[in-house]
Structure 1
């Protein structure tokens, strides 16, 4: 009993010291995809990131991020394909990036390597901040059986819930497409990262999909747990790669990931959430 008490006491001292240690700052930047592959449930219009107006916005935005000066930048690239990301970033730093992409990739692949937010935003910010590497954090070994979830709803006669799914997707498409037509890129990103937008994104999983199926069918909860698992694994890579003396990070991910990451950062005693609006003001 005495030994058990001492273990508890030492743990209490350790966690107290841990909580008092200086917190780092994570700038969480949820984004729509600059080169939209159309893989999401909601079909959102794309826009031309290469226009002079948008390029000027990206220059200004990444200059503000460089003043924030992240020690590390994390992007939505498969974590076990870091070598490929390193090769791309090396070419970008070398100043011959467009020629490198044109030479290496087929015409139907080039848009991603030229227009993606990873290149246009993260690489640009990394170069301005003089970072030697951009870090991959995506984890993709999961299952998201959306068709099984909808079948579970159908089998459970959850007609209203099925309609709620369609209404949510339709609302998301309509809302985002209107914003893309009217707002600048900077305004779009600021809107995407509001508490309300992130909460709405997460509610699609918790409020709707998690309810799917009869009481003995957990297809909905399984899909939601897989989505959480993917994002939790991704966040663990941020935690494991942010080591002293690192104090600041930029995490650039799709808005769906950002909705989950926000929850993780706010629960992490080692980091504070830095909002985009505060960096760009």
Structure 2
């Protein structure tokens, strides 16, 4: 009996130890960059967006959400909404879980709510930070006179990116569009817009660098909200505009306390 008791005690200790190890495993974070399904036209790049309410798009959104829920199994789904909206978001989500809420045409609902429900009712959380915005006013005031060559290059780049984006929305399926938007090529292209004008005002007010810094500042705050949610043992899906994810992806790559999980194989 003493030997049996000792074996039971040892097995219990090993089980508790294993559970402790699992609980201390770094959070896994999957980043998903999207376009705004209902585009308010506030971005520098103006795009006529693909209609996500079409039968084909709705079928894909349902299948894509199920795959993310089953294969990644997020414990938390973080959405690009203001933290102050969390109370209302919780109300809407509880209504949706009960079948009493029709999903608006917005990615936080069409993707976020669907994935969270399919994952067994995972938590949904707002993580956006809107106190800090992209402060490009001084840059746009100075660039035409102080840096006309950069202004011309900037205008050309915006025109090219806009044309490319409109062409992608016009010709690609939703699956192919999301896959393209989450490519390294598109992330680099997005960040290049800020870096092109970064030198404007160098040594004389730094209008370009300050504008770029304000965008990174906002995204640093957003990533701080992600870090707060992504405690050890969590599996966190982050859904946000592709411009945010382009920057946040670099933060996650350097975060030694958390592990990045690629979304590439899920499209």
TM-score, scaled to structure 2: 0.86
Distance 1:214 1:135 in 2: 39
Equivalent pairs, count: 243
Which position in structure 1 is the counterpart of 2:247? 260
Structure 1 residue 51: Cα displacement: 1.3
Q: Residue 81 of structure 2 corresponds to which residue in structure 1?
A: 77
Q: Name the TM-score, length of structure 1 as normaliser.
A: 0.82
Aligned to 2:266: 279
In the other structure, the counterpart of 1:125 is 115
Cα–Cα, structure 1 residues 267 and 45, in superposed 2: closer, same or farther, change >3 Å?
same
Deviation, 1:214, is: 5.0
Q: What does residue range 102-117 of structure 1 map to in structure 2 within 5 Å?
A: 114-117=104-107
Counterpart position of 2:16: none
Q: Secondary structure at the match of 1:85?
A: helix
Which residue in 2 is equivalent to 1:86?
Answer: 90
Structure 2 residue 139 is the aligned partner of structure 1 residue 149: yes
8 Å contact from structure 2 (residues 50, 174) kept in 1: no
Name structure 1 gaps, 5 residues minimum: 1-20, 99-112
Which has more radius of gyration?
Answer: 2
Aligned counterpart, 1:62: 65
Deviation digits for residues 80-115 of structure 1 (CA, Å, limit 9, x no counterpart): 2211211221222121212xxxxxxxxxxxxxx610
2:183 corresponds to which residue?
Answer: 194
Q: Is 2:54 the counterpart of 1:51?
A: yes
Given the alignment of the two structures, is residue 26 of structure 1 paired with residue 29 of structure 2, yes or no? yes
Aligned equivalents of 1:76, 1:186: Cα separation in 2: 20
Quote the Cα distance in structure 2 between the aligned partners of 1:35 and 1:152.
32
Matched position secondary structure for 2:237? strand
- Give the one of 213, 218, 238 matched to 1:225: 213
Which is helix-richer, 1 or 2?
A: 1
Give the gaps of 5 or more residues in structure 2.
1-23
**Is 2:223 the partner of 1:235?**
yes
Which segment drifts farther, 71-80 or 141-150? Answer: 141-150
The verdict on how the C-alpha distance between 1:225 and 1:269 changes in structure 2, with shifts beyond 3 A counting, is same
Give the 3-state SS of the residue equivalent to 2:197 in structure 1: helix
Structure 1: how far apart are the matches of 2:133 and 2:28?
Answer: 32
Distance apart, 1:143 and its partner CA: 4.0
1:211 pairs with 2:199: yes
- RMSD of the alignment, in Å? 1.5
Aligned to 1:136: 126
